[in-house]
A and B are shown apart, each in its own frame.
Chain A
Amino acid sequence: MGEWSSRVIPIVRGLCLLYVTHKYLGTTVVTYGPSMLPTLGITGNVLLMERISTRTGKLRPGDVVFFRSPENPRRVVCKRLVGMEGDQVTYVVDPKNSYKCNTIVVPKGHVWVEGDNIYNTKDSRNFGAVPYGLVEGKAFWTLLPRRDFGSLAPKPK
């Protein structure tokens, strides 16, 4: 009994430590899709995500964040944070068809996210402000592709 547990417990502890790191500190994420062009390519992006800024409330507009989609809780989505609660956000409602803009105030406890590629993205302009509880973490480093290695680009104006 003692022998068995002295082998198994370190393995269980190691796996639990991996899980705790993944859930509370950070992890690597693979992204795909055109909604964050030109910052992130359609495929082949590996980013490092950290969860500490989310827990301590240190997210700022301009950060690239991951959050659970309000339309599908099993999907984690990557977009850029544009407004925190209380901010006033002006956005183009339908960039492909008109120049019409809308201005809203981000409700309490929510954030406003937009993809960098406004012509091909589903974001807060479609599903509204996202409750902060859905935000998983912030992307702070690009591992792949190699030419983008380093911190992420700020949103092009």
Chain B
Amino acid sequence: MGTPSVLWNVAKKCFTVGVISLTVSDLFASIVPVRGASMSPTFNPKTNSLLDSLSDDRVLVEKLCLRKYKFSHGDVIVFCSPDNHKEKHIKRIVGLPGDWVGTIYDVVHIPEGHCWVEGDNSASSLDSRSFGPVPLGLVKGRVTHILWPPHRVSSIERKTSRNRVSPS
């Protein structure tokens, strides 16, 4: 009589908390760690393979932008990789639909419904220069703030490169 109902109450509370936090993290905002140095120095400015993952930056990803899929140049976004839907990448939007983006070899036109993303650390970043424009439907959120480590807490600013992108 005593123990089963206590267990049931605990299970119900865990279920409630789990379902509500899953909904909030899907619809409003969630916190994700940033791996790798492709967005250095914005995220993970000092990478060292000896450093453990506790020192990775943790960022706030807002999901409200997914209502209208309206993004601006310079937004940092989280998106599923076009080559492997299980991997997520964090990069900056450099080109929006209709823009012409200049790469080393040619000028690419961004088709409707796609965007061109690049990492801030051009030297070591796997981005649209390798896999082409990314469909906006793969975007899972927009990074607004760094939350960890404490001395780097700040909001993310839009950084645009006017000389490489010609708007539509």
A interface residues, Cβ below 8 angstroms from B? 9, 12-13, 15-17, 19-20, 23, 67-74, 107-110, 131-135
Q: Tell me which of A9, A73, A131 contacts B16 (CB under 8 A).
A: A9
Q: Which residue of B lies closest to A70 (CB)?
A: B135
CB distance from A52 to the nearest CB of B (A): 15
- Tell me if B112 counts as interface (CB < 8 A to partner A): yes
Separation of A23 and B23 alpha carbons in the complex (Å) = 9
B83 and A108 contacting across the interface, CB-CB below 8 Å: yes
- Tell me if B151 counts as interface (CB < 8 A to partner A): no
Separation of A58 and B137 alpha carbons in the complex (Å) = 21
Separation of A73 and B65 alpha carbons in the complex (Å) = 12
CB distance from B45 to the nearest CB of A (A): 29
- Tell me if B136 counts as interface (CB < 8 A to partner A): yes
B113 and A13 contacting across the interface, CB-CB below 8 Å: no
A15 proximity list for chain B (CB < 8 A): 23
B69 proximity list for chain A (CB < 8 A): 73-74
Q: What are 14 of the A-B contact pairs (CB < 8 Å)?
A: A16-B22, A19-B26, A20-B19, A69-B137, A70-B113, A71-B111, A71-B113, A72-B112, A73-B69, A73-B113, A109-B82, A131-B135, A133-B82, A133-B137
Separation of A71 and B68 alpha carbons in the complex (Å) = 14
A20 and B22 contacting across the interface, CB-CB below 8 Å: yes
B82 and A110 contacting across the interface, CB-CB below 8 Å: yes
Separation of A13 and B23 alpha carbons in the complex (Å) = 10
- Tell me if B153 counts as interface (CB < 8 A to partner A): no
Q: Which of B133-168 contact A (CB under 8 A)?
A: 135-139
Of A16, A17, A67, chain B has the most CB atoms within 10 Å of the CB of A16
Q: Which residue of A lies closest to B133 (CB)?
A: A70
Q: Tell me which of B27, B68, B114 contacts A70 (CB under 8 A).
A: B114
Q: Which of B37-94 contact A (CB under 8 A)?
A: 68-69, 80-85
A19 proximity list for chain B (CB < 8 A): 23, 26-27
B107 proximity list for chain A (CB < 8 A): none
CB distance from A92 to the nearest CB of B (A): 23
CB distance from B35 to the nearest CB of A (A): 18
CB distance from B85 to the nearest CB of A (A): 4
A68 proximity list for chain B (CB < 8 A): 135, 137
CB distance from B88 to the nearest CB of A (A): 9
- Tell me if B11 counts as interface (CB < 8 A to partner A): no
- Tell me if B20 counts as interface (CB < 8 A to partner A): yes
Q: Tell me which of B19, B27, B68, B84 contacts A109 (CB under 8 A).
A: B84
B85 and A133 contacting across the interface, CB-CB below 8 Å: yes
